[in-house]
Amino acid sequence: MRRSEIKRRPLADTVLATLEPEDKEYREHDGNSLYLRVKPDGRKSWQLRYKKPDGKWSWIGLGGYPEVGGSLARQKAAEMRGDVSQGRNPLAMKHARKAAEAEAASNTFEKLAREWYANKRKGWTEGTAVRTIGALELHVFPVLGKRPFAEILPIEWMEFLRGMEQKGIVEQTSRVRGMCKEIYDLARVTGRATHNPLEGLHKFLQTRPVENFAHVSQEELPALLRAIRAYPSATDIRIGLQLLSMLACRPSELREASWSEFDLDKALWSIPAERMKRRREHLVPLPQQAVELLRDLHVLTGTYPLLFPGRSDTTKPRSNTVFLMALRRLGYEGRQTGHGFRHIASTTLNEHGFDENHIEAQLSHVKEGVAGVYNKAVYLPQRREMMQWYADHLDKLAGGNVVAIKRA
């Protein structure tokens, strides 16, 4: 729009955006000595007219438009008018504020956290590194990452962590709290902080005992299996839940799996050592039902390296809470977790008389005192038979036609 068409001040956002240039540079008054300067090439910037201590008038720039919008420009102008009224040099104060902003930007929690991550990363496996920085980027940085770390109060960390708890991710909350506490320890030992605001917070947060990976009872299992098979929100997650229920693997092992680990013709899944909790390769025999589910999943995600590629970045797996949130949507919050399927499998197989050694091998457990070098294919034929029985058993439970007969 043209200057002559302006009807009121301060200048409205639509005026700022559409004000047209002229052959010569001009300034348009916004109010209270604040002006919008418009150059012939269309570039716009803010200037404040003020009187110096010697009585002469001068101009000071407040930033270009649209980077600095009308509201922010008026806020900056008010600060500088305050400086002038108190006898301070507004130009010197502008530089001081800019320096303070730069210092604050260099002391953000995110910057400190990435420094901590770079130091710790050297001793971690790739899986641990990805999970750690992923948790910080997903949960912490969007909320507190841009804040100067020394200004974040203990009560703010408490409210943030309790907010995570309310999402039903208690275990993840505990891990995030531990990471953030270590990050502040780095600031403390390097002389950048005198105290750790996360010290002692664990006493007032929920904790989850190691053995308490929630899982439904045997009586509730058929209804859960039917609910999973009818999961409406996403086909890939429905398949993932079904695979979790029948393979007795850890949720992270499945969620982070790549297609290169599977030989569907041989019905085998080879999990590399770097993705295993105990850092050793593990073979998982696949029952026929799992092979069929994986072939269905391949139609959906087979063009990507990962079974469950992320929505915004397909080179990374889905969120580490994706299966937990799906169970929550099904109404099983606090009653069933992804890890809980391992407990169900272990209990069921033991109750039906399968060899304990075969079960422990399937779960990738090692008992103290076991002699010899670990063999990734130990008891593979027996485990193949056992897991096919288990998949058939789950099918019968879901169909409501199972008869409780224990093996000798």
Structure tokens at 323: 């299966």
Report the half-sphere exposure of 104 (CA within 13 A, side-chain side).
Answer: 12
Choose, from 88, 316, 365, 396, the residue flagged as catalytic: 365
Distance CA 311, CA 304 (A): 12
Residue pair 197/184 in contact by the 8 Å Cβ criterion:
yes
Structure tokens at 301: 């995600």
- C-alpha 75, offset from chain centre: 35
167 in catalytic set:
no
Choose, from 43, 277, 278, 279, the residue flagged as catalytic: 277
Our CA angle for 6, 8, 11, nearest 5°, is 80
374 in catalytic set:
yes
Edge-to-edge order in the sheet of strand 44-51: 26-31, 34-38, 44-51, 57-65
Helix (H) or strand (E) holding 110: helix 109-121
339 in catalytic set:
yes
365 in catalytic set:
yes
**Which string of DSSP letters, residue by residue, matches 341-367?**
HHHHHHHHHHHTT--HHHHHHHTT---
Would you tell me how many other CB atoms lie within 10 Å of the CB of residue 344?
21
Residue pair 28/35 in contact by the 8 Å Cβ criterion:
yes
117 in catalytic set:
no
> Hey, is 258 helix, strand or coil?
strand
Choose, from 74, 94, 139, 250, the residue flagged as catalytic: 250
Distance CA 136, CA 116 (A): 12
Choose, from 44, 339, 358, 383, the residue flagged as catalytic: 339
Distance CA 281, CA 149 (A): 40
Distance CA 112, CA 197 (A): 14
277 in catalytic set:
yes
Cβ-Cβ contacts under 8 Å for 122 (sequence gap 6 or more): none
Sort 168 into a burial class: Cβ within 10 Å, 0-12 / 13-18 / 19+: middle
Distance CA 141, CA 320 (A): 17
Residue 37: what are its φ and ψ, rounded to 5°?
-90, 130
* Catalytic machinery residues: 250, 277, 339, 342, 365, 374
